[in-house]
Amino acid sequence: QCQLSGLWRNEQDSLMEISAVGNNGDFQGKYLTRVTLAGGCARASPLTGAQQQPGEGSWPTFAFTVRWDRFSNATTAFAGQCFVDTGGKETLTTMWLLREAVGSLEEDWKATR
């Protein structure tokens, strides 16, 4: 069984801490990114998400959002799945979309990465 709660580190050395996952799959936590749009020092940002309760023999899927409002006017949405390899190592795989605020509808094309 894969447990989302705990401390996670990604390839960019960013840290994510997820509190206990509730019975309904909801969770909260903090994300400390090492990669910033402004190039400055990042602070821990709040994250909120939900885990789909896994069926028998399957690995859970999940989604969460991070508000970067303490140092950036952007929000990121992550969606992924948790796996456990034969050695017992837990791994999260995710895809993300980052939405940065822009000043006009004409600039909308460059707002999502």
CATH for 51: 2.40.128.30
In a domain, 45, yes or no: yes
- Count of domains for the chain: 1
Cα 65 from Cα 108, distance rounded (Å): 20
Could you tell me if 79 and 51 are in contact, meaning their C-beta atoms sit under 8 angstroms apart? no
pTM: 0.83
- Percent of the chain predicted with pLDDT > 70: 87
pLDDT digits (tens, 9 = 90+) for 37-57: 556 666 789 999 999 876 666
pLDDT digits (tens, 9 = 90+) for 6-48: 999 988 888 899 998 998 999 999 998 876 655 666 678 999 9
In a domain, 79, yes or no: yes
Q: 11-31 burial by CB neighbour count: b if 16+ within 10 A, else e?
A: eeeeebebeebeeebebebbb
Nearest to 72 by CA among 112, 94, 99, 53: 99
Q: Which residue has the higher pLDDT, 78 or 37?
A: 78
Residue-level pLDDT at 42 = 66
- Quote the domain boundaries for residue 95: 6-110
Residue-level pLDDT at 80 = 95
